Amino acid sequence: MQLNSQNMESPEPKTTIRISKISRNLDISISELVNILKNKGCVISSNPNTKIDAKTFDLMGSILQELNVNKEKIEALKQNYFNKKKGILMQEINADRLLEYKVIGIIDHVLGGKSARIKALAILNKNNTSINLTDSEAEAYFPPKGYIFEPGFFHNFKYHENEIVSFYIEVNERAEFGHDKYRLKINTSEIKNYGINARKITGFKKNKLTTDLSLVKVEGDTSDGKFYGITEKYIVGELRVKNEKIEPALHRRIKIWDFEKENILNYNGHIKLHHCPTGESLVLDCMNDKQLFDWFRDELKKVEPDYVSLLDFKAKWRTEIPKLFTQADKERYEVDKVRFDRIEEKFNYLDLSIADIKTLIEKSDSLREAFNKAIENHKEELKKGYKTQFEEFQKDFEKQKILIEKQIVTLQESKIEKERVLDSLKSEIESLTQKIENINQNKERILADFSIIKDVFSNKDKPEKTKNQDSYLIESYDTENESVTYQIGKTKEQFLLDFQSQLWRNSIFPNFANKMSNIMSVYKAVFVKDIRLGLSYAATTNNALYIIQQVEPDWLHFSDFWNNGLGAIWQSAHKYPEKLHFLFLEDINMSSPECFARPLLDMITGIRKLIPFGKTPYPENLKIIATKISTENPEIGLPLNEQTFKGWGCVGFKGDIYKKSEEEYKSLPGIFSTKTIQSFALDNAEIEMIQSDVKSEFNSLFDVE
């Protein structure tokens, strides 16, 4: 099977790009781009054919990112026009050799509980050189959306969603139009975990050759373990999280390397390095002040155990300190030099005891002189500082005083107004209390009057209650649209793709497709948060008859329910078993389901075998889908009792079904028969998982235990 070579070839790397090309791709006018560079001291012509080199493009790109221009678009232009290394590597991977290389991807989608779609992130060539892929490159190499499909993946492998793995691929011979072109090549190479653990961090700052890790926070994964930290400028490591605290993985020091994008895999916050950082690095000391001075004492003791006596008798004790470095490795030597510089800078703040300080200044003239000088300096600094602070405090106090006085006046005025409103409410309460007392005193007469009025109205001629066939309409989802090409639906994967497309068109989050499909496989009747969930499911079949019926407040008997849609859809389901049937009940709690729906509730739980009126069993091709109306804020419907709806499923009450999807979902619609839909049945373990999930959603649905 040959690949489309036009889609596979990477563009020839260039050294310049026309400014008109940048303008079109970033949707910014040429004049704007010229002015942006001009403000930074770089003057260029506004001619559309003006060529921009890599250095000028980097300057422009950094400014545009500060103005919130799409970073991915800027990076894509840079890769296509200036990244020669990647361009050369990409040229090696053509259509004929793609299957020879390993693919690196993230387990992104779970299909049907067992199958997986793996998002392609990079390619590993024969020399173990990694090549990161943009979204457009991934889609070109692995059409149509940059994914590799593997049926039964979670049955065959012990991996989890969002893990990054490496593997070989082969052509998916069973792929139909619009499906993933490749699948895993399992028989030649096992799938393997890939990369070095990394996490994005914030708050990292380099102060000369030191850093304070207490300011650093991890984004996303905060579990214990070793990792490299990623910032916008550096790769930092190796770090570890221990008991929710970030610390160096080794000897209270870390290294930093310049940010190297080619070595980083980052997909939706899940980050790995292709390999441990290489090249030039800096070693940073991570000790805080307390750790630093404790270390200093320990190092002094290494010069001579009784370091106090040493200071007493050796005037040139500082010259002894370099002896400490003779046994250290090069990296530790550099860190220790930094630490001694810090000690020298902060010697005035050395955390010595009073006895230590007294001994030092009594035995050393130079230390006593330095100590007294530092005290005098601090005295002057404190005087100046406190004087300035006092003046600022006095000004701030006057401002706060004026503000508080204004607030007091406002509160007093508010108090007067609220007292007036309170008096008004008291008068109203007294008036209403009087009216209630009058009603209680005259309730016998009022009830007698109402009884007379009721008899008058009940004796009026009224039509015989008949089947209200005008209250419902049997509608259909079928293949009447001649402008659409349909195919015979066979697999659950195809059904889920079509279902996701229907949900997307109905503004429902497409990721609910798999959950809704599984629940419809397990339950005869289902509650949904939004009726569009059920309508999308029915529409996906292109082989369904349905009724949408709102429950009325005057439904008191099962005959009311049977004559308003249930009977018609029930009999149709028995008459046309090859078609799927749906009864959509809107606002099921506008009346009491325990009254009007008891026989149906008994059929669903298996208490009854035949339905009254119809005298037939429950049709296998009929699904009941219900919505509820609010029972508080505003209080419209009746409270629902969980015990009444045993054997019902529910979808959409946990999680955001209205979440916007950036991906556009389109598929070739299929026609799914009753037999095909029933073939999507789940195994016992999957059914138990669905029932457990439904049970947790019931907490958001029912009002009465």
For 116-120, 174-178, 310-314, 366-370, which range has the lowest pLDDT when averaged over its residues? 310-314
Tens of pLDDT along 558-594?
999 999 999 999 999 999 999 999 999 999 999 999 9
**pLDDT value at residue 574:** 96
Pairing of strands 622-626, 525-528: parallel
Tens of pLDDT along 318-349?
455 555 544 445 566 667 667 666 666 655 45
Q: In this structure, which amino acid lies at residue 622?
A: L
Taking residues 176-190, what's their average pLDDT?
78
First-to-last alpha carbon distance for the chain, in angstroms, is 60
Count the residues in the chain.
705
Pairing of strands 102-111, 51-53: unpaired
- Cβ–Cβ < 8 Å for 482, 577: no
In DSSP terms, 266 is beta-bridged to 271
Q: E strands within 551-703?
A: 580-586, 622-626, 648-651, 670-671
Distance CA 88, CA 91 (A): 5
Distance CA 443, CA 595 (A): 30
Locus of tokens 């946990």: 654
Residue 351 clears pLDDT 60, i.e. is over it: no
DSSP letter for 566, please. I
Higher pLDDT, 456 or 211: 211
Domain 469-700 top-level CATH class: alpha beta
Distance CA 235, CA 129 (A): 19
The whole model's pTM is what?
Answer: 0.39
Where does CATH 3.40.50.300 sit in the chain?
Answer: 469-700
Residue 690 clears pLDDT 70, i.e. is over it: yes
In DSSP terms, 132 is beta-bridged to 122
Higher pLDDT, 590 or 431: 590
* Token pair listed for 528: 């949904």
CA 163 to chain centre: 16
Tens of pLDDT along 232-285?
989 998 999 988 889 998 878 999 998 888 889 999 889 999 999 987 888 999
Locus of tokens 């292709």: 274
Taking residues 203-216, what's their average pLDDT?
90
* Token pair listed for 529: 């948060």
Residue 80 clears pLDDT 80, i.e. is over it: no
Residue 625 clears pLDDT 50, i.e. is over it: yes
Pairing of strands 475-477, 245-248: unpaired
Q: How confident is the model at residue 11 (pLDDT cuts 50, 70, 90)?
A: very low
Provide the percentage of residues in the chain whose pLDDT is more than 90.
40
Residues 6+ apart with CB under 8 A from 297: 307
Higher pLDDT, 668 or 90: 668
Distance CA 81, CA 17 (A): 7
Residue 13 clears pLDDT 90, i.e. is over it: no
Tens of pLDDT along 292-314?
777 877 776 665 566 545 554 55
Residue 355 clears pLDDT 80, i.e. is over it: no
Distance CA 54, CA 65 (A): 16
**Helix 19-26 to helix 30-39 angle, to the nearest 10 degrees?**
110
CA 569 to chain centre: 41
The CA-based angle 201-205-206, given to 5 degrees, is 130
